[in-house]
């Protein structure tokens, strides 16, 4: 396709400003799975299932977020992965694009395929599955407290997501098992979770070439049915991933920065933190697995307290960067361990 043809086939909104685009109802986006990014990832998932000699192929559709509905053997993928302009908007609104790289996207697809597999074969009813992973009837917590050093769960998606619910534990274990060349036997050697992986392997071997009993192609909340504007969608999403912590950072901030009378050579702590805000947010997200948007809310509170307390930078910037990165990581981990980590369901 020529450049002129590509431009002609682009939706009109691809050239709009953010303000224009945010007022567009989601059902008017008109994006599909046909773009190279999503279609290649879905085909890779199907190839991995085929390599495992499983005949099940989850159907996939475009919606507002990643999810697999109860009882449906299919996967909803977020609209922003269907077009680069929408991925850019997601980044600007949420500070990251969940599933936005090929590796990250495959991790989530394999996880959702685990849920879809359970729906397709009604695996949650199996007594042994309940003994190994727990009962699906256990209510999903609004928040959960991860145990970062537990060896009873695989480590696949961020924030130790396998620990949030028995169904997530199964989906995460399935995702680690699925890639044919995955070195899970070596990686988890000696860990209690190895028994879960071995159970999944035996269960899947028993389903080789077995057609799934649940074959519905139902699509829940397809993009074409979503009437919210993108502005409304992101306002809701930011509320979901925001924080509700009080400003408890003063003692640590006063130890790191100075509230002594300003000296001409001393930079405002708020100005300093704003300068490397993106850098520190990315680093702490990489270490903790927490959403960048959530970390940014903690960071915003800290910056505001620095401003209100008139704190200034009394030491070299590089040392202050390192010290503050550690401080922000500690507060983020405290937030995770406080039982206030939100389950993304």
Any idea which residue has 């729906």 for tokens?
A: 119
Residue 308 has a pLDDT of 86
Between the CA atoms of 16, 19, 25 and 29, what dihedral angle is there, to the nearest 10 degrees?
Answer: 30
Q: Which of 45-54, 216-225, 300-309 has the lowest mean pLDDT?
A: 300-309
User: Which pLDDT score, from 0 to 100, does residue 112 have?
Assistant: 98
Q: What is the pLDDT of residue 246?
A: 47
Check residue 242 and give its pLDDT. 65
CA 124 to chain centre: 24
Structural domain spans, the chain: 3-225, 242-342
Beta bridge partners of 191: none
Residue 3 pLDDT: 44
Rounded Cα distance, 114 and 100, in Å: 20
Residue 243 pLDDT: 56
How many Cα atoms sit within 13 Å of 137 on the Cβ side? Answer: 5
Rounded to whole angstroms, the Cα distance separating 166 from 134 reads: 5
- The C-alpha angle 198, 186, 337, rounded to 5 degrees, equals 80
Q: Are the C-beta atoms of residues 233 and 64 closer than 8 Å to each other?
A: yes
- Which tens digits make up the pLDDT trace of 73-109? 999 999 999 999 999 999 999 988 999 999 999 999 9
Its sign, for the CA torsion 36, 41, 45, 51, is: positive
| 342, pLDDT greater than 50 | no
Q: State percent of the chain over pLDDT 70.
A: 90
Using only the alpha carbons of the chain, give its radius of gyration: 23
Give the separation between CA 9 and CA 339, rounded to whole angstroms.
48
Residues with Cβ within 8 Å of residue 211, at least 6 apart in sequence: 55, 56
Residue 343 has pLDDT above 90, yes or no: no
Spatial separation of the C-alpha atoms in residues 50 and 209, rounded to whole Å: 10
CA atoms within 13 A on the CB side of 130: 9
Closest-CA residue to 65 (of 84, 80, 83, 78): 78
- State pLDDT tens for residues 2-22: 444 445 589 999 999 999 999
Mean pLDDT of the chain: 89
pLDDT tens per residue across span 117-138: 999 999 999 999 999 999 999 9
Q: Residue 197 in contact with residue 173, Cβ under 8 Å?
A: yes
Whole-number pLDDT of residue 265: 52
pLDDT category, 339, cuts 50, 70, 90? very low
Q: Check: CB of residue 80 under 8 Å from CB of residue 97.
A: yes
Residue 159 makes CB contacts below 8 A (sequence gap 6+) with 146, 288, 289, 290, 336, 341
């Amino acid at each position: 396709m020529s450049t002129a043809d590509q431009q002609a086939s682009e939706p009109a909104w691809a050239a709009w400003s953010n303000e224009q685009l945010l007022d567009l109802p989601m059902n008017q986006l008109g994006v599909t799975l046909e773009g190279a990014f999503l279609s290649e990832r879905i085909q890779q998932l199907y190839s991995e299932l085929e390599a495992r000699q499983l005949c099940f192929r989850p159907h996939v559709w475009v919606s507002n977020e990643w999810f697999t509905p109860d009882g449906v053997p299919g996967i909803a993928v977020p609209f922003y992965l269907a077009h680069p302009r929408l991925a850019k908007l997601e980044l600007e609104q949420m500070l990251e694009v969940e599933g936005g790289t090929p590796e990250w996207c495959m991790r989530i697809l394999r996880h959702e395929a685990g849920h879809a597999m359970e729906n397709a074969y009604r695996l949650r009813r199996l007594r042994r599955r309940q003994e190994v992973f727990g009962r699906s009837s256990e209510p999903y917590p609004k928040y959960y407290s991860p145990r970062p050093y537990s060896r009873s769960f695989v480590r696949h998606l961020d924030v130790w997501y396998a620990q949030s619910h028995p169904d997530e534990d199964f989906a995460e274990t399935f995702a680690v098992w699925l890639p044919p060349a995955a070195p899970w036997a070596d990686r988890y050697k000696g860990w209690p979770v190895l028994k879960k992986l071995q159970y999944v392997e035996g269960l899947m071997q028993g389903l080789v070439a077995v057609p799934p009993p649940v074959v519905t192609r139902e699509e829940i909340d397809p993009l074409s049915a979503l009437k919210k504007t993108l502005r409304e969608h992101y306002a809701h999403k930011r509320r979901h991933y925001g924080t509700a912590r009080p400003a408890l950072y003063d003692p640590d901030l006063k130890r790191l920065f100075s509230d002594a009378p300003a000296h001409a050579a001393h930079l405002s702590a708020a100005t300093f933190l704003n300068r490397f805000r993106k850098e520190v947010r990315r680093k702490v997200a990489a270490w903790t697995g927490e959403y960048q948007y959530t970390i940014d809310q903690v960071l915003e509170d800290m910056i505001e307290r620095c401003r209100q307390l008139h704190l200034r930078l009394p030491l070299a910037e590089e040392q202050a960067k390192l010290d503050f990165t550690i401080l922000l990581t500690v507060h983020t981990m405290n937030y995770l361990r406080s039982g206030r980590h939100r389950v993304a369901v």
